[in-house]
């Protein structure tokens, strides 16, 4: 049995298989062919943080695959009142067929997975957001970009860490521009650079957004204040001055460069209103692709279950 906790746990071929499955299922859906790949399966969806896209895409996705989603906010289940993660895992995984979790420390999802009898999917932790970056890659392919040169500008956060892992695994170029004090986690960087030696991915770090974006064909960013960092808002806004993706910065990228944003976006901070609206097509195609990419991941995990897992 496999869990989808981080991108680094999969080979390049496995990741591409998931993307291919997503493309196939998306095409089927566009032709109104709803194939019940996960018939009668239940997806438990545990949320310790807010969500619009993750909740709607997983719940709709499992339904379209023939199953049902169970929304479990930590405010409503005993987890929120202190029931241990490992007990929650041992209970829920005896009743459902797959679990998606959005939580804080990455260790918590690892603990859940250790005690789970069913595959667990990371719907965002403080450290990684792998389903988002798989979605972004699907979107890049759909935009006809064969050799991505991705420039990420902003906070060295869960989104950036997942970009690092995907670039390292698949071998595309990634340039990361962050303020020095908001750089990526050094252990994640080291790991990504090690993996990149095998794939040949060119990964670079700078504090200059201009340097990162020069000649890129994909420009992306994320909020400067992630969930759980609300208290740091004022100091973060000061530290990220100059990191807004605006028309001037986009002007350094290739002429037909796309702009992606995982959303929610905060205009006037990490992205200008103009850049956001000029690239709304790609951004909302990316948002829709959450639905399709995650179907590919869920079906792939279902195909790789141990046969005796539900004994």
Q: How many CB atoms lie within 10 A of CB 114?
A: 12
Q: Does the annotation mark 261 as catalytic?
A: no
Helices (H) and strands (E) in the chain, counts: 12, 9
Q: Does the annotation mark 290 as catalytic?
A: yes
| Least CB distance to ligand CP at residue 70 (A) | 17
Report 125-144 residues binding ligand CP (CB under 6 A): 132
Report 232-261 residues binding ligand NVA (CB under 6 A): none
Q: Does the annotation mark 3 as catalytic?
A: no
Q: Does the annotation mark 184 as catalytic?
A: no
Q: Could you give the CA distance from residue 294 to residue 19 in angstroms, rounded to a whole number?
A: 9
Residue 189 CB contacts under 8 Å (≥ 6 apart), including other chains: 164, 183, 205
Contact of 187 with 226, CB cutoff 8 Å: no
Give the binding range for ligand CP (CB under 6 A) out of 14-22, 47-55, 186-194, 248-256: 47-55
Q: Could you give the CA distance from residue 198 to residue 171 in angstroms, rounded to a whole number?
A: 8
Q: Which residue's CB atom is positioned nearest to ligand NVA?
A: 226
Examine residue 157 and tell whether it contacts ligand NVA (CB under 6 A). yes
- Provide the CA 14 distance to its chain's centre, in angstroms: 16
CA within 13 Å, CB half, 153: 29
CB nearer to ligand NVA: give 128 or 172: 128
Sole binder of ligand NVA in the list 41, 74, 122, 158 (CB under 6 A): 158
Report 245-284 residues binding ligand CP (CB under 6 A): 262-263
Ramachandran class of 109: left when φ > 0, alpha when ψ lies in -120 to 50, beta otherwise? alpha
- Interacting partner of 221 out of ligand NVA, ligand CP, none (Cβ under 5 to 8 A depending on kind): none
Q: Does the annotation mark 13 as catalytic?
A: no
CB nearer to ligand CP: give 128 or 182: 128
Question: Which residues belong to the active site?
Answer: 102, 129, 132, 222, 262, 290
């Amino acid at each position: 049995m496999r869990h989808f906790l981080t991108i680094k746990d999969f080979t390049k071929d496995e990741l591409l298989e998931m993307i291919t499955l997503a493309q196939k299922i998306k095409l089927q859906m566009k032709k109104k062919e709803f194939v019940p790949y996960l018939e009668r399966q239940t997806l438990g969806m545990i949320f310790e943080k807010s969500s619009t896209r993750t909740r709607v895409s997983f719940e709709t996705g499992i339904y379209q695959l023939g199953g049902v989603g169970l929304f479990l906010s930590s405010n409503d289940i005993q987890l929120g009142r202190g029931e241990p993660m490992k007990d929650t895992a041992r209970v829920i995984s005896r009743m459902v067929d797959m679990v998606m979790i959005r939580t804080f420390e990455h260790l918590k999802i690892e603990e859940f997975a250790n005690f789970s009898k069913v595959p667990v999917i990371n719907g965002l932790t403080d450290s990684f957001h792998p389903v988002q970056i798989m979605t972004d890659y699907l979107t890049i392919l759909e935009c006809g970009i064969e050799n991505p040169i991705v420039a990420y500008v902003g906070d060295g956060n869960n989104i950036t860490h997942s970009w690092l892992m995907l670039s390292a695994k698949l071998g595309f170029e990634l340039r990361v521009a962050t303020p020095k004090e908001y750089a990526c986690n050094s252990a994640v960087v080291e790991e990504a650079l090690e993996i990149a030696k095998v794939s040949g991915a060119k990964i670079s770090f700078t504090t200059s957004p201009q340097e990162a974006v020069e000649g890129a064909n994909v420009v992306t960013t994320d909020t400067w204040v992630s969930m759980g960092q609300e208290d740091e808002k004022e100091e973060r806004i000061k530290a990220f001055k100059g990191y807004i993706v605006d028309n001037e910065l986009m002007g350094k990228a290739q002429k037909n460069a796309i702009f992606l944003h995982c959303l929610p976006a905060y205009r006037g901070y990490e992205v200008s209103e103009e850049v956001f609206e000029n690239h709304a097509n790609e951004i909302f195609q990316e948002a829709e692709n959450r639905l399709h990419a995650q179907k590919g991941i869920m079906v792939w995990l279902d195909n790789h279950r141990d046969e005796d897992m539900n004994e």
